[in-house]
Chains A and B, each alone.
Chain A
Amino acid sequence: MSFATDLLNIALVIAFVSVAVSQVLSMVRLVIGPDTGTRILALDTMVVNAIGLIVLLGIAQGTNIYFEVALIIAMLGFVSTVAYARFILRGDIIE
């Protein structure tokens, strides 16, 4: 175990803890959010944090197989955010 490997492991633990804490904080905002725009924003942040957690899991296990998972969650997150906003704006998603 060299110094650099130790540093990498500590940084990985710090990153896991802070991304998980921010996921919980955005869930708090999703529950207490006073209006609809804030709730959509909190859901969007939770999707982005989920991508971050999956990327961190890929680094921690030293594998590359989570790439497609993160890519598909990124695309679905964007589409769902636009669909929610579209539903509020027009009352319909596909006009």
Chain B
Amino acid sequence: MTLQDIGAIATALCLLIGAGFTLVGAIGLVKFNDSMTRLHAPTKVGTVGVGALLLASILYSLTYKYGSAHEILIMAFLFVTAPISANFIAKVNIHRRSCETPPEPPQDDTWGTLNVPEADKAVSNPVGSTQS
């Protein structure tokens, strides 16, 4: 078994891991029945799934061509931004009260996203909104 065979097998393994995580995350997005629960599955697609696919791309270029590792740039960007966007979506869920409202935070009146200033209420509560 040459070094090229080992590289090809490692690439195939990374591809299978990434494909499995992506598929399972999408199935979880469809099957879960609560908006906060649904947030759990696709965050794994964004980190482990695409991370393994990018690792497979790096291994492929190391095996069959001159090596190039600048997919690490996409990987680092996705790993930094995935928690931020998940946090924003959770704040949207609390704001629109589409989930069970969490208990009151200590030493504070209410959650910051529910504390809308009077001037903003006209624009953030349009007609047909689910917020009571």
- A-side residues, CB < 8 A to B, are 2-5, 7-8, 10-12, 14-15, 17-19, 21-23, 25-26, 28-29, 34-38, 40-42, 44-45, 48-49, 51-52, 55-56, 58-59, 62, 64, 67, 70-71, 74-75, 78, 81-82, 85-86, 88-92
| Closest-CB distance, A39 to chain B (whole angstroms) | 10
A45 with B35, Cβ < 8 A, contacts A15-B18, A89-B92 known: no
Q: How far is the CA of A21 from the CA of B56 in the complex (A)?
A: 20
Mostly, the A contact residues are helix
Q: How far is the CA of A5 from the CA of B6 in the complex (A)?
A: 10
Mostly, the B contact residues are helix
- B-side residues, CB < 8 A to A, are 1, 4-6, 8-9, 11-13, 15-16, 18-20, 22-23, 25-27, 29-30, 35, 38-39, 42, 45-46, 49-50, 53-54, 56-57, 60-61, 64-65, 68, 70-71, 73-74, 77-78, 81, 84-85, 88-93, 95-96, 98, 113, 120, 122-124, 130
| Closest-CB distance, A29 to chain B (whole angstroms) | 5
Chosen A-B contacts, 7 in total, with CB atoms closer than 8 Å, are A8-B11, A15-B53, A25-B27, A48-B46, A64-B68, A67-B74, A85-B88
Q: Is the CB of A37 within 8 A of B92?
A: yes
Q: How far is the CA of A91 from the CA of B123 in the complex (A)?
A: 5
Q: Is the CB of B123 within 8 A of A92?
A: yes
Q: Is the CB of A91 within 8 A of B78?
A: no
Q: Is the CB of B77 within 8 A of A22?
A: no
Q: Is the CB of A37 within 8 A of B45?
A: no
**What residues on A are CB-neighbors of B84 within 8 Å?**
78, 82
